[in-house]
Chains A and B, each alone.
Chain A
Amino acid sequence: GAVVSQHPSRVICKSGTSVKIECRSLDFQATTMFWYRQFPKKSLMLMATSNEGSKATYEQGVEKDKFLINHASLTLSTLTVTSAHPEDSSFYICSARRAGGFESEQFFGPGTRLTVL
């Protein structure tokens, strides 16, 4: 149990376009989902926390108008990178916290590699 999927696994887009990444909890309800960004051989940097039905909470330095997060249901959160530029190229990982689950434990998706040309 506790499987999280992400789609797509990799995406290449042109500069100036928008890209949407989906994060789904497949076999549990996720009260909270998290979005991270990871550069090669670096740690995970938390971008934002999203709770179902409410606005996402962004970490300091993360542009909320550029990285739009929607948490429409207890099993789906989406991250939209708007007007993407080459510097947005990165590995994006989502995770989900299970309702009633172990405090602070997160289940991670397999990640999405975004390349902006």
Chain B
Amino acid sequence: AQTVTQSQPEMSVQEAETVTLSCTYDTSESDYYLFWYKQPPSRQMILVIRQEAYKQQNATENRFSVNFQKAAKSFSLKISDSQLGDAAMYFCAFGAGNTGKLIFGQGTTLQVKP
């Protein structure tokens, strides 16, 4: 069975600084997908970034980038130039197979200090 672990329940960062959220996973699948979702206080889940496991190149979306280490089964999210609007709960998620099911990590609450 697949598992996703986020070992940082809470993180804080100064506005304009950079922060990295960690995520590790365990799977025997060779073909899978990884996601980072943001859940602000409104509780609407928003896709931040996604990575296909077969791609070696790390995904990037503006200020958000990932460090995907397939052998280590690690998928960290780096937020550059942090903004107050980045404050939210962030979930790492794993998806594989044709069911489309996602397995979520426990979440990391990010606080951005002005």
Binding site for B on A (CB under 8 A): 32, 34, 38, 41-44, 46, 49, 91, 93, 95, 97, 102-108, 110-111
Contacts and interface: CB of A to CB of B under 8 A. Distances in A.
| Chain B, interface SS category | strand
B48 interface: no
A32 B100 contact: yes
B102 A106 contact: yes
Nearest to B105: A43
Which of B35, B89, B100 has the largest count of A CB atoms less than 10 A from its CB? B100
Given A41-B109, A43-B107, A97-B100, A103 B95 contact: yes
B107 A108 contact: no
A41 B89 contact: yes
Which of A34, A43, A46 has the largest count of B CB atoms less than 10 A from its CB? A43
Nearest to B99: A49
B19 interface: no
Interface in B18-66: 32-33, 35, 37, 42-47, 50, 52
Contacts of A106: 100, 102
A11 to B, nearest CB: 15
Those 9 A-B pairs whose CB atoms lie nearest each other, nearest first: A104-B95, A108-B45, A97-B100, A104-B33, A43-B104, A110-B44, A44-B104, A111-B43, A32-B100
A110 B42 contact: yes
B91 interface: yes
Given A102-B33, A104-B33, 13 more contacts: A32-B99, A43-B104, A43-B107, A91-B43, A103-B52, A103-B100, A104-B32, A105-B33, A105-B47, A105-B50, A105-B95, A108-B46, A110-B43
Contacts of A46: 101-102
